[in-house]
Amino acid sequence: MRIATWNVNSVAARLPRLLAWLGSAQPDVLCLQELKCTTEAFPHGEVTALGYEVAAYGLGRWNGVAILSRVGLGDVRRGLLDEPAYDNETEPRAIGATCGGVRVWSVYVPNGRDPEHPHYAYKLRWLEALRATVVAETSAERPLAVLGDFNIAPTDDDVWDISLFEGATHVTDAERKALAVLRDAGLTDIVPRPLKYDRPYTYWDYRQLAFPKNNGMRIDLVYADAAFAAAVTDAYVDREERKGKGASDHAPVVVDLSL
C-alpha cells in the first residue's frame, strides 16, 4: 500500500498537477491539506474519475483537508475531539477515515503566526486535541497514522539555518513538546530518506530562490503507531513535484507499506 500526504496550497490552482501526480505516483491513499475551497467545491468528479473515493472538509478559506482513497473509505470523521475554535469558528483542519484497513488522519496544524499571537496559543490547544483524538482512536485492530502539514520542524536539523528562526514559530520548545507528547502516546516520526540532499525538506518558500538554494524545512510529517511503522518499506519526499511552474510550495511525502 502507498500512502502519501501533500499540502497543495489550493486544490483549484493545483488541480492539473494533482491529477497528473495521482496518475504517475499511484498512491492508494492521499491526504491533502490547504484546499482553500469548500467541501462542495472540491473537484470530486475529476478525482473520482481516476478511481478514488473522496472525503473533503473545507470552508473556502486558508485551510481545508481531504482524504482520497482507492482502497475503500469509511468511518469518516471531520474534526478532532473537543477541538478548539479560533475567532469563534472551528476551522476545517482535520479529517480521519479508514482506508484498506488503515486508519489515517489528514491534518493541517495551525501556523501559530508568532509566539505572542493568539493564534500560537490556539495552535498549542489544537495539538492537545489532536493528541486526545489519537489516544481515543488507538486500536490493536488497525494501524494508524497522522499525516499532514504540522507547521513544526521536529529538530534544528529540519530547517536550513536554525539561527534565522530565533523568536519564530515552528521551532519553539512548546511546539516541539507537543510532538514529543504525540510520540509518548505511541506514535513514531516516519522520517523520509534523503534523496538528492542531506535533509529531506518538504517545504520551500516561493521567495528569495528558496527552492533552488534548498533553503527548506521539514514540516510535512507522518506520525504512525507501531503497527504502521513496522510495515513501512520506504518513505521519501517527491522533491520533483516542487519544481516547475504552478507548483505548490510543499512537496508530497510518500510512504510505502507492506501489510
How is 65-128 classified by DSSP, letter by letter? EEEEESS--EEEEES-TTPPPBTTB----EEEEEETTEEEEEEE-----STTSHHHHHHHHHHH
Cβ 255 vs Cβ 221: under 8 Å: no
How far does CA 98 lie from the centroid of its chain? 16
197: three-class secondary structure by DSSP: coil
Q: Taking the domains of the chain in order of start, what are their residue ranges? A: 72-254
Q: Is the dihedral of CA 48, 51, 57, 59 positive or negative?
A: negative
Q: Annotated binding site, which residues?
A: 7, 34, 149, 151, 249-250
Residue with cell string 534523496? 195
Length of the chain: 259
**Helix or strand (DSSP H, E) at 57:** strand 53-57
Whole-number Å distance between alpha carbons of 50 and 21: 11
Instruction: Give the model's pLDDT for residue 197.
Output: 82
Angle of CA points 124, 127, 132, to nearest 5°: 130
The torsion angles phi and psi of 128, rounded to 5 degrees, stand at -65, -40
Instruction: Give the model's pLDDT for residue 90.
Output: 95
Q: Annotated binding site for Mg(2+), which residues?
A: 7, 34, 149, 151, 249-250
Instruction: Give the model's pLDDT for residue 70.
Output: 98
Q: How many CB atoms lie within 10 A of CB 258?
A: 9
Instruction: Give the model's pLDDT for residue 133.
Output: 97
250 is catalytic: yes
Cell numbers at 69, concatenated:
482513497
Q: How far is CA 88 from CA 70, 128, 226, in A?
A: 36, 18, 36
Whole-number Å distance between alpha carbons of 228 and 199: 23
Instruction: Give the model's pLDDT for residue 149.
Output: 98
Which one is catalytic: 57, 108, 122, 203? 108
Each residue of 132-155: b (16+ CB within 10 Å) or e?
ebbeebeeeebbbbbbbbbbbbbe
Nearest C-alpha neighbor of 35 from the set 60, 3, 16: 60
Superfamily of domain 72-254: Endonuclease/exonuclease/phosphatase (3.60.10.10)
Which one is catalytic: 149, 220, 225, 238? 149
pTM of the model: 0.97
Instruction: Give the model's pLDDT for residue 195.
Output: 82
184 is catalytic: no
225 is catalytic: no
For the chain (259 residues), the mean pLDDT of every run of 10, in chain order, is: 98 98 98 98 98 96 95 98 95 98 98 95 98 90 96 97 95 98 96 88 96 97 97 97 96 97
